[in-house]
Chain A
C-alpha cells in the first residue's frame, strides 16, 4: 500500500538497523556525501523515502544499495546519526534472502565468491579469490584479465607477496571442520528465520 506504514514495518522487522529508517529527515546530506553518488539510481535519502512510500519491489530489487563501498562518509555526516551504511547492507542482505537481487548484480556476485572462498577454510585465499573474480563473467574475459594482470602477478610472486602454490588448496585456520560445523549451524538458524511481513 502506498504511503502506508506496512513496508516500513517490514523493513523494521527484517532489516538490520531498519528501525532507523523512520528517523530520516530528508536533508540529503548522505546523498551529497557519497563518493559513488552519481552511480546510485536512488541515493540513501531516496531509498528511505521509497520505504516510507511503500515501494517494496522497487526498493528490494534496486541496484542502489549494492553500490555502497562502506566508506562511512554518510554515517559520519548524517545529522540524525542514522547508521546508513549498515542499513544499506541490511537491505542488500534482505533482498538476497528474498531472492530479489537483480540478475547479474556484480557486487552481489563478488560477495558470494568472497563468502564461498572464505567459508571453505576460514581464511581468504587471495590467489583463488582473484582468479575467480577474473573469471566471474566468462572464460574469455578471465583469460584477457589474467594476461593483463600478468606483470603484477609476477612482481608479487618475486617479492613473495603471492604464493602460486596456494592454487593447490592453500592455507586455512586450525580447525576447519569445526568452522564448517559452526557455519552450518548458523545457516540453519538463518534459514529458520521467517520473513516477518
Chain B
C-alpha cells in the first residue's frame, strides 16, 4: 500500500499557527508517526510561493499523496487544488488554535498541542489510504435531452435546451402539443403593468418547436423503458405502437398536472348543473365566446353575474381533499373574472375567497387591476352550491359574519393541481416475482425507469416530484432526470417558464459532467465513484435499497451495479455495507477508520479522555469551523473527522473507535424527516436509524449508552456545537473513562 505512494506533508505556520503551536513537534509527528517521506513547513502556505513549493514537489514526482496542515479543508480550496494527487487536510486553525484559549498555562498548552499533533497523525493516516481518483472510463457525451411531456413546460425546456446547442426529443402522450396551456383562452400576464390577461405564449412556442429540426416530437407516445445512467440513458419510446429507441444524455420530466375532479365534492353541484364549471371549463366557454359575451351552458343565456369559488377541495385536511395550495388559482380566477369585465363592465363578477394568494412579481398589481375593473372580492366560505335554473351559492360572509344565499348565472370552481408523477415507488406493489403487479405499475408509470428502486421518481410530498424545494430545486432523487413545471410543484406558467429553464440548465450540467466522468451535483466535479470488492460481497442488497438516489441496480449475477453517473458520491452505500466492501478512491472505511485509529490514545489513568466527532461536511463541519471563526472554545479532548454525509458512517467506525479507546462518540448530521436538510435526502435518516441499533451493542459491551450520541445540526448551530462537545466531555467525566484502552 504505502510502498508505492510518495507521501508529502506541508505544514503552514501562518494565521498565528506558529505562535500557538510547536511547529518542530508537528514536523516530527508528521515524520515519525505520520511516516511522511517529505515534510516541509512554510510561513504562508496558501500564498503563491507556498503553493508553487507544493506544485514543484508534485511536478518533480517527489510526492503524489499530500497532507496539508493549516486551515480547515473548507478554506483556501482554490489555492490547494492540485490535479493528479490525493490530498488530506489537517485543520490546525479553525479546529485547534481558534477554539482553544491563548494561555501560558502549561496544561492548556499541552492539550492544545496534543490536539494539533493528533490532527496531523489523522490526516497522514487518511491520505495513506487514499488513491488518486480517476474517472471510470464508462463515460460518453450525448448532447441530447429527452423531454417527457409536450405541454408548456416541456416545450419551453426543449426550446431552451436547443438554444444552448443541444438536441431535444419530446415525448407527448396526447395527439397534440401544448397540454393544458393550449386549452386556455388567455394567460396570466407575465410582464408589467400586469393589467390584462395576455395572449398565451403557447401558440408561438408550438410553432417554434414544430419548425425546429433539432427538436424531435413523438405524439401519442409514452415511455416504455429507460435504462442506463446520465450521459447514456437508453430509452424506448412507445410511439403510437412502434418502439423507437434512443440514447440520451439526460431527461427532463415535465408531465404536468391533472385538474382535481370537482365531481368528488357533492356539495358543489359540479356535474349536477351545467352552469357549475371548473376553471378549465370556463376557459372552454371563453374560447367559444372568443371575445363576445360568455354564455352559460344550460340555456345559452349571456352571463350577467358570475361567482368564482376559491380553494375548492384544496387547502383542506378533509378526506379526499388536497391539503396544499395550488398557487395559480387565485390569479386564474382574477384573470377569468376579467374575461367578463373586459367584455362588459356591467357583468357582476365576484370572487369568494377565504385567503387570497397573489404570488409572483405582478400578483398584487394584477389583483388591484381586478379591483379597479370592478371585480368584487368577498371573504366568504362556501357551504353549498345548489343547482337550479339559476344556481344558488350559499356562503358565510366572513367580514360581515352572516349567512348569504346568492343566485348566479354561472359558478366557477377553483380546483387544485394533482401532479402527473406516475407510480409512487415507495408505496406501489412490489414487482418481485409478480408479473401482474409489474404490468399494473408499468401501465401507471410515466418514465418506466429500469431502476431497482422503482419505475418513477420518488415523490417528495403530496405526490410532487422534487428532492428539496428550496436548496436543490429540479434535482430530484434520480441524477440526470430533472422535473419541471407542475409535476414538481404547483405553479402557473410564469413560474413554469423559470422552471423549464432551470431544468434545462441542470440537464446540460448532467450531460457535461457525465461526459468527463464527474459527479453532477451536489459534489459537482468529484471524480471518485464507489466500487466494491466483488469477492467480499454477500449480495445482501443493502446498498441497492439504501442508496437515496436509486443509483445501484443488480447485474445478472445479482451483484450491485453502481452506474456511477447516477451516483451523488454521498457514500450512503459505504455506510450501509455490513461487510465493508464498498469504497471510493479517496474516501473509504479505511481512510476514516485508519485516521481515527491514528490518534495517540492516552491511557486510562491520564485523565485525558478522547472524544471522536464524526461531522457531516455539509452543515455540521462548517458550523464547527464557524464556531472557531467566532472564537468559541471547546474541549481539547475532541477529535473531529469530517464525513461526506452521516449516511456514509459505517458502524465499524464506531466499534473501532470504542475498541481503540475513545471515551465518547458524537455524530453530527443534518436535519432528517419531513423538513429534511440532508444534502443527500436520506443519508442523515439512515445514519440515525443505524445508530439507534448501536445501543444494544454498547450494552453488550457493558458500555454506557451515553457514550454514543447522534445530533441533527444545522449550519447555523454555531453556538450549539461547542456546547454539545463540552457536554460530552462532562458526561465522560461523570461516567468515567472507556475501559477498553490498551
Instruction: Point out residues on A near B: beta carbons under 8 Å.
Output: 2-5, 8, 22-23, 25-26, 45-46, 49-50, 52-53, 80
Contacts and interface: CB of A to CB of B under 8 A. Distances in A.
Nearest to A21: B371
Contacts of A80: 368
Contact of B374 (A22, A25, A45, A49): A22
Contacts of B305: 4
A23 B372 contact: yes
Interface string B387-409: 00000000001011000101000
B350 interface: yes
B377 A5 contact: no
A98 to B, nearest CB: 22
A49 B378 CA distance: 8
Given A23-B368, A23-B371, A3 B399 contact: no
A25 B377 contact: yes
A58 to B, nearest CB: 10
B357 interface: no
Contact of B406 (A3, A5, A8, A46): A3
B411 to A, nearest CB: 13
Contact of A52 (B367, B372, B376): B376
7 pairs of A and B residues whose beta carbons are closest in the complex:
A49-B399, A4-B348, A23-B371, A52-B376, A22-B371, A5-B348, A3-B406
B141 interface: no
Nearest to B402: A53
Given A2-B404, A5-B374, A52-B378, A46 B399 contact: yes
B647 to A, nearest CB: 47
Contacts of B368: 23, 80
Contacts of A50: 400
A26 B374 contact: no
B376 A5 contact: yes
B42 interface: no
The residue in A4, A46, A49 that gathers the most chain B C-beta atoms within 10 A of its C-beta is A49
Nearest to A6: B348
Contacts of B35: none
A3 B371 contact: no
A23 B400 CA distance: 17
Contacts of A4: 305, 348
Contacts of A25: 356, 367, 371, 377
A45 B404 contact: no
A8 B397 CA distance: 17
Nearest to B307: A3
23 contacts: A3-B348, A3-B350, A3-B404, A4-B305, A4-B348, A5-B348, A5-B374, A5-B376, A22-B371, A22-B372, A22-B374, A23-B368, A23-B372, A45-B399, A46-B399, A46-B400, A49-B379, A49-B397, A49-B399, A49-B400, A50-B400, A53-B378, A80-B368
Interface string B359-371: 0000000011001
A63 B374 CA distance: 27
Contacts of A45: 399
Contact of A53 (B371, B372, B400): B400
Contacts of A26: 377, 379, 399
Interface in B407-436: none
Contacts of B371: 22-23, 25
A58 B400 CA distance: 12
Contacts of B400: 46, 49-50, 53
A5 B348 CA distance: 6
Contacts of B377: 25-26
Contacts of B367: 25
A63 B616 CA distance: 67
Contacts of B376: 3, 5, 8, 22, 52
A26 B356 CA distance: 11
Contacts of A46: 399-400
Contacts of B404: 2-3, 53
Interface string B497-534: 00000000000000000000000000000000000000
A57 B47 CA distance: 83
A53 B379 CA distance: 11
A3 B374 contact: no
Nearest to A12: B374
A30 to B, nearest CB: 13
Contacts of A23: 368, 371-372
A142 B102 CA distance: 85
A192 to B, nearest CB: 28
Nearest to B395: A3
A2 B397 CA distance: 12
Contacts of B350: 3
Contacts of A53: 378, 397, 400, 404
B372 A2 contact: no
Interface in B1-55: none
Contacts of B397: 49, 53
The residue in B367, B368, B371, B379 that gathers the most chain A C-beta atoms within 10 A of its C-beta is B371
Contacts of A22: 371-372, 374, 376
A2 B406 contact: yes
Nearest to A3: B406
Contacts of B399: 26, 45-46, 49
A107 B330 CA distance: 42
A95 B665 CA distance: 79
Interface string B667-685: 0000000000000000000
A26 B368 CA distance: 13
A45 B378 CA distance: 12
B296 to A, nearest CB: 17
A178 to B, nearest CB: 43
A50 B526 CA distance: 65
B347 to A, nearest CB: 9
A28 to B, nearest CB: 9
Contacts of B348: 3-5
Nearest to B376: A52
A25 B378 CA distance: 9
A46 B374 CA distance: 18
A49 B377 CA distance: 9
Given A26-B377, A49-B379, 9 more contacts: A3-B404, A8-B374, A23-B368, A23-B372, A25-B371, A25-B377, A46-B399, A49-B397, A52-B378
